[in-house]
Chain A
Amino acid sequence: MSWAMKLRKKQPVFQAFLWMYAIISVYPLLWMVFYSLKNNNEIFVTNPFGFPTHFRFENYVEAWTRFSVPVYFVNSLFVSIITVIGTITLAVMFSYACARMYWRFRETARTYVIIGLFVPIQVIIIPLAILVRDFHLANTYAAIIVPYIAFNLSFSTMVFYGFFRSIPIELEESACIDGANIYQSFWRVILPIVKPAIATMVIFVFLNAWNEFTIALMLITKESLKTLPLGLLFFQGQFTTDWGAMGAAMTIASLPTVLIYIFFSRQVENALTVGSAVKG
């Protein structure tokens, strides 16, 4: 390879642009983590940009104890886990029936559920709020968990359906010949095969539920039921007084999803982009 070609292959100008954008993308977060470890004087005057001179972990203690961060955190965790379990269970069963079993309206049923993808969720919040009130679910966990599950069904169904269609039919045939009934074959033969898809969707649904803001805002008003995205709004008033603790609370709220992403970066990217291949 000639010198000029090598240079072209490396694209120095574009590479520089990429590194610059990486800084734009990450530095605000570093800045947040930095100031979560500083006191106001350091943030505002002596050292606004750089690494903290002295780790003030008391900000984290402050955030954790004085504001209800633990309550929000546990709520978020609970809501997200139940949403994941509910969504995956329902979507796997439904898409299996649509993809493999024989019944008359299966194509219609599938299309009907997939239409949900084209509806912006916040649009239906008014009727939803009325429904939640009429079912006496207002200010319970169910008020947000049930809608979260319902909203995630369309997408999960679409993804699982694609997976089920790619499994050879011989698997069920042999299970049938071996005398298994439909439930056993579903549980023991089919589910283990779609494990990768389930793992992907677990991540996808978890991130969605953990970060959801709009529905929670409109359907939850009780302090003890608030999830993190909602609870953190509470700090808005205190902003000027205690940046350090605010930064600490924000860092705590971001930790779970960032850790999930760092450890499973490929899977998370796949999970979030899986729709483009099917939906496009």
Chain B
Amino acid sequence: MKRFLGNRLAISIFIVPTLLLYTVIVFYPIVQVFFRSLFEWDGLTEGTFIFLDNYTRLFQDHIFYTSLYNGLVFAAILAVLQLGIGTILALTIANASFRGKKILRISFFIPVVLSITVVCQLWLAMYNSEYGLFNKIFEAMGLSYRQDWLTNKNTAIYAIALVNAWQFMGYQFALLLAGAKSVPEQYLEAARIDGAEGWKAHWKITIPLMSETYKYCLVLAVTGGLNAFANMFIMTGGGPGTTTYTLTYLMYRSAFRVGEFGYGSASAAILVIECLIVTLAINRLIARERITY
């Protein structure tokens, strides 16, 4: 058996392609991002080593702070809306018996499988200041309240975050539903006998027992927000001005528009570190002890 499953040639055939591809396409570039962030580099020549100058420049760049702020706003909106509404949707479906549960599940989930381009174009149409769905609704209600949320620098980032929250709500819902179903029925029964019913029982029993699920959902929502790019690229192009920039947008513009690959790499490196810190912090704060049933 040892010889059978220890066949050197077979092992090499099985592992080498994956290791090679992963190393070249994923791992080596991560190292490169950090390494190249220390260079002034146009992507063509060798570049000159300038140590931390890109970072110093970044910390003096007001677009960097806008990007940082927008990432956090985006993350906060996703976390609050998706986890808040997602919890209500998931727990109601999990423990109630009524007709149409399947239709509801499908309705919540459908936007998840759509391409982000379709979703963004669709919301562009909905936000359209003349013919958009929202303004048509206001019109139908007899209000002369006409708005262009995306070109208003105070509302643009919220309008974009709402689109992402809408699209991936179903995803968080599905995760939370799976989590809620894995909580053993007896716990809720016991709570009921002790006099805690309905949402009180959920608040005291189901939700705390789902802390692992919540941790995962929160990491997804927050890192998803920090990484936001496609939504603003399609809907506002970072504008109006630079008010909807994020770190990825800054990286994209620096490298592919202005040709400052080193500066773009520094922005990407900050993003990696930011995501890492947030993930670790969430893991620290929630559910320090693993719950086993």
Cross-chain contact A127 with B115 (CB below 8 angstroms)? no
Q: How far is the CA of A176 from the CA of B6 in the complex (A)?
A: 12
Asked whether any CB of chain A lies closer than 8 Å to the CB of B15, the reply is yes
- Chain B residues, CB < 8 A from A96: 14
Residue of A with least CB distance to B179: A276
- Chain B residues, CB < 8 A from A25: 107-108, 110-111, 166, 169-170
Cross-chain contact B18 with A157 (CB below 8 angstroms)? yes
Total number of A residues with any Cβ neighbor in B under 8 Å: 103
Q: How far is the CB of B191 from chain A (nearest CB, A)?
A: 14
Cross-chain contact B109 with A261 (CB below 8 angstroms)? yes
Asked whether any CB of chain B lies closer than 8 Å to the CB of A3, the reply is no
Q: How far is the CA of A112 from the CA of B131 in the complex (A)?
A: 51
Q: How far is the CA of A139 from the CA of B102 in the complex (A)?
A: 43
Q: How far is the CB of B168 from chain A (nearest CB, A)?
A: 10
Cross-chain contact A124 with B113 (CB below 8 angstroms)? no
- Chain A residues, CB < 8 A from B125: 32, 35, 239, 243, 246-247
Cross-chain contact A258 with B96 (CB below 8 angstroms)? no
A109-B15, A126-B36, A153-B18 known; A253 vs B118 contact (CB < 8 Å): yes
Cross-chain contact B92 with A11 (CB below 8 angstroms)? yes
Please tell me which stretch of B49-57, B58-66, B144-152, B271-279 contacts chain A, meaning at least 4 of its Cβ atoms lie within 8 angstroms of it.
B271-279
Asked whether any CB of chain B lies closer than 8 Å to the CB of A77, the reply is no
Q: Mark B19-47, 1 if CB is under 8 A from A, else 0.
A: 10110111111101100100000010000
Cross-chain contact A211 with B97 (CB below 8 angstroms)? no
Cross-chain contact B11 with A272 (CB below 8 angstroms)? no
Asked whether any CB of chain A lies closer than 8 Å to the CB of B243, the reply is no
Contact for B114 among A122, A257, A276, CB less than 8 A:
A257
Asked whether any CB of chain B lies closer than 8 Å to the CB of A194, the reply is no
Asked whether any CB of chain A lies closer than 8 Å to the CB of B133, the reply is yes
Q: How far is the CB of B78 from chain A (nearest CB, A)?
A: 15
A25-B107, A120-B227 known; A102 vs B118 contact (CB < 8 Å): no
Q: How far is the CA of A250 from the CA of B98 in the complex (A)?
A: 34
Q: How far is the CA of A173 from the CA of B5 in the complex (A)?
A: 10
Contact for B136 among A11, A49, A94, CB less than 8 A:
A49
- Chain B residues, CB < 8 A from A120: 223, 226-227, 248, 271-272, 275
Cross-chain contact A182 with B115 (CB below 8 angstroms)? no
CB neighbors of B among A112-169 (8 A): 112-113, 115-116, 118-120, 122-131, 146-147, 149-151, 153-154, 157
Q: How far is the CA of A183 from the CA of B268 in the complex (A)?
A: 42
A9-B97, A25-B169 known; A128 vs B114 contact (CB < 8 Å): no
Q: How far is the CA of A15 from the CA of B25 in the complex (A)?
A: 47
Please tell me which stretch of A51-59, A60-68, A224-232 contacts chain B, meaning at least 4 of its Cβ atoms lie within 8 angstroms of it.
A224-232
- Chain A residues, CB < 8 A from B10: 97, 101, 182-183, 186
Q: How far is the CA of A262 from the CA of B105 in the complex (A)?
A: 11
Q: How far is the CA of A213 from the CA of B276 in the complex (A)?
A: 23
- Chain B residues, CB < 8 A from A210: 115
Q: How far is the CB of B32 from chain A (nearest CB, A)?
A: 4
- Chain A residues, CB < 8 A from B85: 21
Residue of A with least CB distance to B131: A44
- Chain B residues, CB < 8 A from A233: 117, 234
Residues of B near any A CB (own CB < 8 A):
1-2, 4-8, 10-11, 13-15, 17-19, 21-22, 24-30, 32-33, 36, 43, 85, 88-89, 92-93, 96-98, 100, 103-118, 121-126, 130-131, 133, 136, 140, 166, 169-171, 174-175, 178-179, 197-198, 212-213, 215-217, 223, 226-227, 229-230, 233-234, 248, 251-252, 255-256, 261, 264-265, 268, 271-272, 275-276, 279
* CB-CB nearest 7 A-B residue pairs: A150-B25, A127-B29, A124-B29, A127-B32, A94-B18, A97-B14, A22-B107
